[in-house]
A and B are shown apart, each in its own frame.
Chain A
Amino acid sequence: MIDIDVLAGLLGGHLVRQRWFAGGEDEAPSCKVVTLETLVEGPPALLRVLVEAAHGGDAALYQLVIGVRPAGGHEEFLSGRPEAVIAMDMETEMGPALVYDATADPELTVALVNAVVPGTDAERGRLVSTESTHTSMVFDERLIMKLFRRLGAGGRNPDAEITRALTMVGFANVATPVAEWRDEVNDYAVVSEFLVGGADGFSLALTSLRDLYDCRCDPEEAGGDFAPDARRLGAVTAKLHLALAEAFPAVRADASHWAEVMEERFVHASLAGIDPALVHAVFDRLRSVLRAGMAIRSHGDYHLGQVMRTDAGWFVLDFEGEPGSSLEDRLELSSPLRDVAGMIRSFHYVAQVALRERAEAIDERIVSLSAAWERRSKYAFLEGYLGVEGIGALLPPGELDQDVVFSAFELDKAIYEVGYEQAHRPDWVGIPLAAVARIVGSV
């Protein structure tokens, strides 16, 4: 269909423009096409390509689905999507052809799901989102396909693995997998039931905060009170952890090991204006916890954007872990409080984002409302979480130790965020920095 070498020559420039490409934007990787298979002859043709992209000393395997159409036609789906085009005019068996990312093409997304999951009988497809590790497409408003982009070094995708295992132990608040595209080596895609009518937790929390900042009353008086939803989310989170502890190994935690990992992260961080001794003190206290509860497979990157409110309550999505971490780190067992801390950090973030929306209209009252909203949401979440029967068995037995472990994970997360913001959104770095200062100051 198309010449592998020509394609490989173009993919470097294509990859650097993709959000899911892990390397930097400055330098195109050198690419080697590992496999190229034709899923649909076409036209339009649909190809699946696995490409090894070498970048500096690292090499990673990526998955692409590529569409090929005769050149010269005007394709409406590509308007405003220049990054989806690989070549405007490539010599192929079809003649001169347009070569592009097929996930942008509604016709080929349908062809893709019908090719890899026979019996789907999808009629309409649409691209919903491109995340840092995958691309999602929805079919007939009933199925969602998550196409993995960066294939793990060990092959197995943690998201596919965890979702499968959670469904097996009867945890109901994940999108039920319908089919998987995988072989002995790799997970390529998962097709699940689409949560019709769902909205992500971040936009729901923003709705609540906009209402609060406008009415300027106490959060418990505000119409858009988030606490009931936070409480239900806490309960779902606890049930998630119990299910994870059942589906995967759960071992007695070693707090000092967690402390080592956190110190390691901290060594590479640069935190302006924070006394390192205060940070070490938090980790030292973690080290001193003798009974730190259980270490379990956790969500790993738990925040409001990873949970979805639906007509059947909260659902949990995306079990891939922190995108910046290695697969090995992502599979490591950790405290359930790590996820709890992640969500509480998220409450802080969303409250700050809502503040920034009204940048010019911030006053003391709004700032104190923001803090009050965070407090209220946090306590409601924890109330829901701790109220689930059996969750105590996974946590440090004493309240004091719970606080120590929680604070350490909260600090670790905030330090991670500082690094993330420095790399991606430097003017946001103040949000996690303020959190770091608060946490270390409170010890």
Chain B
Amino acid sequence: MTKPKDPGSSDHRSDHPSDHPSDHPSHEAAEDGDYVHPRPGLHVPAPGGGLVQDPEWYRKAVFYEVLVRGFYDSDGDGTGDLRGLIDKLDYLQWLGIDCIWLLPFFQSPLRDGGYDISDFFTVLPEYGDLSDAVELISEAHRRGIRVIADMVMNHTSDAHPWFQESRRDKTNPKADWYVWHDDDHRWSEARIIFIDSEASNWSWDAQRGQYYWHRFFHHQPDLNYDNPAVADAMLEVVRFWLDIGLDGFRLDAVPYLFERDETNGENLPETHAYLRRVREEVDRLYPDKVLLAEANQWPSDVVDYFGDGDECHMCFHFPLMPRMFMAIRREQRYPITEILAQTPSIPDGCQWGIFLRNHDELTLEMVNDEERDYMYAEYANDPRMKVNVGIRRRLAPLIDNDRRVGELLHGMLFSLPGSPIMYYGDELGMGDNIYLGDRDGVRTPMQWTPDRNAGFSKADFARLYLPPLMDPVYGFQAVNVEADLRNPSSMLHWVKRMLEVRHQHPVMGIGSFELLTAENPSVLAFNRTLHNEQTDEHDVVLCVFNLSRFAQPVELQLAQYEGLIPIEMLGHVPFPAVGTLPYFVTLAPYGFLWFNLVERP
């Protein structure tokens, strides 16, 4: 458990928040004259709490991915900012998430959503400044919430002073900080990742009269990690932010740090060696931090980034997400169980990051041949799924806004092995705007209220970085935090309740996983088990999901739990004790049940 919680306060916490309008802390009052933040009425527990030290917090945590630009605009300039996020920390605390994951908020010309960093030590001015970042971290910590941020190790923006200096000539002090070459033939084995916009991994720089290497956009030159000064400088960047209090990083594009002849330039031993060096430094100086690798590859390859437990603490599990959607579409569990069967075990202390939606996605380029055949067989003939691969959609539109499917998916997300990573707005069932284009469609402003600009900003509408959704189904008039708070049966309240239950059972994060036999192919059943060595007790959770839109029966083989009583975990309702015969469960359409198996209720 990462957050201290007074067990006696749980009822209080789950009370309808708007019943406590007078509880608004005073610091939420207007800061600039008559401007008052459009805030939902939230009951905020007394300050205090803070973080509890736990070297494995990330294995039990629920992460929440936030686009600073889109979360909340504190100064009315039409763009979300760090102070806005600080203002909304109470909401995130109320929701019950454990860790915020910030997309890049560093100085950048913003030609690649901030992944083109031009100064690692400066906050993008429209987001605020360094003191805002410090305050965000300390305010989050005060609420028991940790903060990690995107860090791009592989490259910088071409606007970065390092590159500006490096390109000047071949002899300047930073001449070897990037990867320069006289011709553009070297390392032709390395694939071009952004094949639609880049013709080569080399681009000509007229000023220096040489080609420079870039695995991504041409305006993102790769750093030269063979230069010890670069390796040291990036370690300094890591130390700088950890010193300020960040709780870790999502390491962007880690497989590409080094280049070697006759290789494809991915997953090289030198890259792993450098990651071990980063990890060693983090372990040496900073307890309770996490490194989360974005290696957009197959689980059997991604596990290399855990090393022997001495590289990254966490890696994303990419293929699970599309297969969860496929399983529901096919009304059978095999798309999920197959990929779990193909997922190698990981070293102690490591954890997968799993998600329903985030801005990273599986694409057909990253998978092995066999899986590509599988994906083509499953998707290519299915016009609906085809449309959804590679194009970024939010969760709700992907599932036709079906609340039952949304709950089913979250039920799996919160109980399958791995730490769940949520995407801002999905807890409301927010939609997308595909007409804004590939990336921006899912980056529209967080919908706080039914008021002007969704309560996101006081700016003139035309000044907003992106228009909020206004359609009749997903628009902010219909879907917003304020309305959801008032409606006890909203998706938001349901998600909050699920997070509470998950927190009460660390087994969901760190327990072992065992698939159970179910003859009905539409049913996914597994258990999670955690052995408490001090008490010699087992915490056993049984999860049963109906992937079909029809009601389904299932007989489960639970003889190993004979005599135990399944307690349904949301309502604490005792079910009949497990006997020697198969345990019979009926499930509503898209229904699921979590049971805690106990000796007595």
Decide if A204 touches B341 in the complex (CB within 8 Å). no
How far, in angstroms, from A225 to B329 measured CA to CA in the complex?
A: 9
Which residues of B have CB within 8 Å of A231?
Answer: 377
State whether the Cβ of A58 lies closer than 8 Å to any Cβ in chain B: no
Decide if B331 touches A199 in the complex (CB within 8 Å). no
Decide if B383 touches A221 in the complex (CB within 8 Å). yes
Q: Which residue of B lies closest to A125 (CB)?
A: B559
Decide if B557 touches A141 in the complex (CB within 8 Å). yes
Decide if A204 touches B521 in the complex (CB within 8 Å). yes
Q: Mark B335-358, 1 if CB is under 8 A from A, else 0.
A: 001101100000000000000000
**Chain A CB within 10 Å, residue with most, of B328, B381, B516, B560:** B381
State whether the Cβ of A196 lies closer than 8 Å to any Cβ in chain B: yes
Q: Of the candidates B332, B338, B516, B559, which one forms a contact with A207 in the assembled complex, judged by CB atoms under 8 Å apart?
A: B332
Decide if A225 touches B557 in the complex (CB within 8 Å). no
**Chain A CB within 10 Å, residue with most, of B383, B516, B517, B550:** B517
How far, in angstroms, from A141 to B556 measured CA to CA in the complex?
A: 11
How far, in angstroms, from A62 to B518 measured CA to CA in the complex?
A: 31
Which residues of B have CB within 8 Å of A224?
Answer: 329-332
Docked complex: A206-244 residues within 8 A CB-CB of B: 207-208, 210-211, 214, 220-221, 223-225, 227-228, 231-232
If A126-B559, A126-B582, A197-B337 touch, does A207 touch B381 (CB 8 Å cutoff)?
A: no
| Selected A-B contacts with CB under 8 Å, 24 pairs | A126-B559, A126-B582, A138-B557, A141-B516, A194-B517, A196-B517, A197-B517, A199-B332, A199-B521, A203-B519, A203-B521, A204-B332, A207-B331, A211-B331, A211-B548, A214-B549, A214-B550, A220-B382, A223-B329, A224-B329, A225-B382, A228-B377, A309-B521, A311-B334
Which residues of A have CB within 8 Å of B382?
Answer: 220-221, 225
Q: Which residue of A lies closest to B378 (CB)?
A: A228
Which residues of A have CB within 8 Å of B328?
Answer: 223
Which residues of A have CB within 8 Å of B333?
Answer: 197
How far, in angstroms, from A225 to B378 measured CA to CA in the complex?
A: 9
Docked complex: B517-533 residues within 8 A CB-CB of A: 517-522
Decide if B521 touches A227 in the complex (CB within 8 Å). no
| Given A208-B331, A223-B329, 4 other A-B residues pairs in contact with their CB atoms under 8 A | A124-B560, A141-B557, A228-B374, A311-B340
A104: min CB distance to chain B, Å: 12
Which residues of A have CB within 8 Å of B582?
Answer: 126
Q: Which residue of B lies closest to A194 (CB)?
A: B517
State whether the Cβ of B515 lies closer than 8 Å to any Cβ in chain A: yes
State whether the Cβ of A76 lies closer than 8 Å to any Cβ in chain B: yes
Which residues of B have CB within 8 Å of A208?
Answer: 330-331
Decide if B580 touches A76 in the complex (CB within 8 Å). yes
How many residue pairs link A and B with beta carbons under 8 A? The number is 83
B296: min CB distance to chain A, Å: 24
Decide if A225 touches B331 in the complex (CB within 8 Å). no
How far, in angstroms, from A309 to B331 measured CA to CA in the complex?
A: 14
How far, in angstroms, from A210 to B547 measured CA to CA in the complex?
A: 13
Decide if A197 touches B383 in the complex (CB within 8 Å). no
State whether the Cβ of A248 lies closer than 8 Å to any Cβ in chain B: no
Decide if A207 touches B337 in the complex (CB within 8 Å). no
Decide if B377 touches A77 in the complex (CB within 8 Å). no
Which residues of A have CB within 8 Å of B560?
Answer: 124
Decide if A196 touches B377 in the complex (CB within 8 Å). no
If A141-B517, A207-B521, A309-B521 touch, does A227 touch B381 (CB 8 Å cutoff)?
A: yes
Which residues of A have CB within 8 Å of B331?
Answer: 207-208, 211, 223-224
Q: Which residue of B lies closest to A106 (CB)?
A: B580
Q: Which residue of A lies closest to B521 (CB)?
A: A199
How far, in angstroms, from A31 to B384 measured CA to CA in the complex?
A: 63
Decide if A207 touches B548 in the complex (CB within 8 Å). yes
State whether the Cβ of A6 lies closer than 8 Å to any Cβ in chain B: no
Q: Which residue of A lies closest to B340 (CB)?
A: A311
State whether the Cβ of A359 lies closer than 8 Å to any Cβ in chain B: no
Which residues of B have CB within 8 Å of A312?
Answer: 338, 341
Interface size class of A (residues with CB under 8 A): 20 to 34
How far, in angstroms, from A437 to B124 measured CA to CA in the complex?
A: 76
B391: min CB distance to chain A, Å: 19
A207: min CB distance to chain B, Å: 5
**Chain A CB within 10 Å, residue with most, of B340, B548, B559:** B559
How far, in angstroms, from A228 to B559 measured CA to CA in the complex?
A: 35
Which residues of A have CB within 8 Å of B515?
Answer: 196-197, 311
Which residues of B have CB within 8 Å of A228?
Answer: 374, 377-378, 381
Which residues of B have CB within 8 Å of A196?
Answer: 515, 517
How far, in angstroms, from A267 to B377 measured CA to CA in the complex?
A: 44
Which residues of A have CB within 8 Å of B337?
Answer: 197, 311
Q: Which residue of B lies closest to A79 (CB)?
A: B581
How far, in angstroms, from A223 to B374 measured CA to CA in the complex?
A: 16
Which residues of B have CB within 8 Å of A106?
Answer: 559, 580
Decide if A311 touches B341 in the complex (CB within 8 Å). yes
A411: min CB distance to chain B, Å: 31
B250: min CB distance to chain A, Å: 30
Minimum-distance CB pairs A-B, first 7: A199-B521, A311-B341, A223-B329, A228-B377, A311-B337, A124-B559, A204-B521
Q: Which residue of B lies closest to A129 (CB)?
A: B519
How far, in angstroms, from A198 to B560 measured CA to CA in the complex?
A: 19
Decide if A309 touches B559 in the complex (CB within 8 Å). no
How far, in angstroms, from A124 to B517 measured CA to CA in the complex?
A: 14
Which residues of A have CB within 8 Å of B557?
Answer: 126, 138, 141
Decide if A203 touches B520 in the complex (CB within 8 Å). yes
A284: min CB distance to chain B, Å: 39
Which residues of B have CB within 8 Å of A194?
Answer: 517
A441: min CB distance to chain B, Å: 31
How far, in angstroms, from A198 to B516 measured CA to CA in the complex?
A: 10
Q: Which residue of B lies closest to A210 (CB)?
A: B550
Decide if A220 touches B521 in the complex (CB within 8 Å). no
Which residues of B have CB within 8 Å of A221?
Answer: 382-384
Which residues of A have CB within 8 Å of B516?
Answer: 141, 197
Decide if A220 touches B381 in the complex (CB within 8 Å). yes
Q: Mark A294-314, 1 if CB is under 8 A from B, else 0.
A: 000000000000000101100
A297: min CB distance to chain B, Å: 29
Decide if A77 touches B580 in the complex (CB within 8 Å). yes
Decide if B338 touches A311 in the complex (CB within 8 Å). yes
Q: Mark A15-36, 1 if CB is under 8 A from B, else 0.
A: 0000000000000000000000
Which residues of A have CB within 8 Å of B340?
Answer: 311
Which residues of B have CB within 8 Å of A197?
Answer: 333, 337, 515-518
B85: min CB distance to chain A, Å: 39
How far, in angstroms, from A214 to B331 measured CA to CA in the complex?
A: 13
Decide if A199 touches B338 in the complex (CB within 8 Å). no
Docked complex: B552-574 residues within 8 A CB-CB of A: 557, 559-560
**Chain B CB within 10 Å, residue with most, of A106, A198, A220, A228:** A228
How far, in angstroms, from A238 to B197 measured CA to CA in the complex?
A: 43
Q: Which residue of B lies closest to A77 (CB)?
A: B580
B264: min CB distance to chain A, Å: 28
Decide if B330 touches A223 in the complex (CB within 8 Å). yes
B71: min CB distance to chain A, Å: 34
B316: min CB distance to chain A, Å: 22
Decide if B334 touches A309 in the complex (CB within 8 Å). yes
B451: min CB distance to chain A, Å: 39
How far, in angstroms, from A197 to B522 measured CA to CA in the complex?
A: 11
Which residues of A have CB within 8 Å of B559?
Answer: 106, 124, 126
How far, in angstroms, from A207 to B330 measured CA to CA in the complex?
A: 8
Which residues of A have CB within 8 Å of B549?
Answer: 211, 214
B588: min CB distance to chain A, Å: 16
A113: min CB distance to chain B, Å: 15
Which residues of A have CB within 8 Å of B550?
Answer: 210, 214
Which residues of A have CB within 8 Å of B332?
Answer: 199, 204, 207, 224, 309
Which residues of A have CB within 8 Å of B517?
Answer: 141, 194, 196-198
If A124-B559, A311-B341 touch, does A225 touch B330 (CB 8 Å cutoff)?
A: yes
Docked complex: A162-208 residues within 8 A CB-CB of B: 194, 196-200, 203-204, 207-208
Which residues of B have CB within 8 Å of A227?
Answer: 381
Q: Mark B313-339, 1 if CB is under 8 A from A, else 0.
A: 000000000000000111111100110
Q: Mark A242-270, 1 if CB is under 8 A from B, else 0.
A: 00000000000000000000000000000
